[in-house]
């Protein structure tokens, strides 16, 4: 009798388990340029976001996907949005763009004017939200790490970052303000006012500490999403 009861309990457990929904992982897509393209490398910031999730014991709740291409500007993201992001059915998209829109105006004459940047940026958000995905915005961090605002492109970088902050506020979106975070970090740790070597390897792209720093800032925004 005891064996029969045990068998019934076990069978009931497996029957109920078969009807219990399997928790779906949240798919987080990081959408950007070469900084994000490098983010999926073993020491990249996206890989490190996964490590932070594992440290917090919630790695099984997420799938982290990089969708970065070197040299991209905001309109490049718009043109490949469907194929590289929406087709993957993300739950959350983190838009991390702006460096090349500013930098390439000076270096190649192919950057993005402020009004066009804002227009494409808003269009990206609308298309992502129309599919039902959440959006997190990130400001471009630095083009040079000097803290006295003597980097050549600080003015434009601040302008574009302010645009992103305003867009986030207007649309009630989460913001990872890397521009502010990098400046604060450099004020504290870049006492020699170096152009690079603190959080970047070449004024723009992240070094080891920079990848960890960006991962920590991104994870703060991701982990509070319900």
What fold, for 25-222?
Answer: Rossmann fold (3.40.50)
Between helix 178-189 and helix 154-171 the angle, nearest 10°, is 130
Over residues 26-79, the pLDDT tens digits come to: 999 999 999 999 999 999 999 999 999 999 999 999 999 999 999 999 999 999
pLDDT at 22 over 80: no
In percent, how much of the chain has pLDDT > 70? 89
* Domain boundaries, given as residue ranges, for the chain: 25-222
pTM > 0.85: yes or no: yes
Q: What is the pLDDT of residue 20?
A: 47
DSSP SS3 for 119: helix
Over residues 171-199, the pLDDT tens digits come to: 999 999 999 999 999 999 999 999 999 99
pLDDT at 143 over 80: yes
- Of 193, 216, 196, the closest CA to residue 53 belongs to 216
| Residue 212 backbone zone (phi > 0: left; psi -120 to 50: alpha; other: beta) | alpha
C-alpha to C-alpha distance for 7 and 1, rounded to whole angstroms: 10
- Of 96, 220, 212, the closest CA to residue 161 belongs to 96
């Amino acid at each position: 009798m005891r064996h029969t009861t045990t068998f019934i309990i076990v069978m009931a457990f497996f029957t109920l388990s078969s009807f219990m929904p399997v928790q779906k992982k949240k798919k987080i897509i990081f959408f950007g340029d070469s900084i994000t393209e490098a983010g999926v490398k073993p020491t990249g910031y996206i890989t490190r976001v996964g490590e932070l999730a594992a440290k917090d014991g919630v790695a099984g709740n997420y799938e982290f996907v990089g969708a970065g291409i070197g040299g991209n500007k905001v309109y490049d993201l718009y043109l490949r949005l469907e194929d590289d992001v929406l087709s993957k059915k993300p739950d959350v998209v983190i838009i991390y763009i702006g460096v090349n829109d500013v930098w390439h105006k000076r270096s190649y004459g192919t950057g993005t004017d402020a009004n066009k940047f804002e227009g494409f940026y808003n269009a990206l958000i609308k298309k992502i939200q129309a599919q039902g995905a959440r959006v997190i915005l990130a400001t471009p961090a630095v083009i040079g790490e000097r803290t006295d605002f003597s980097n050549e492109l600080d003015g434009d970088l601040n302008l574009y970052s302010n645009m992103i902050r305003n867009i986030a506020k207007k649309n009630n979106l989460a913001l990872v303000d890397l521009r502010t975070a990098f400046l604060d970090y450099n004020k504290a740790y870049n006492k020699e006012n170096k152009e690079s070597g603190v959080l970047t390897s070449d004024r723009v792209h992240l070094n080891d500490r920079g990848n960890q720093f960006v991962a920590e800032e991104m994870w703060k925004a991701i982990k509070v999403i319900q």
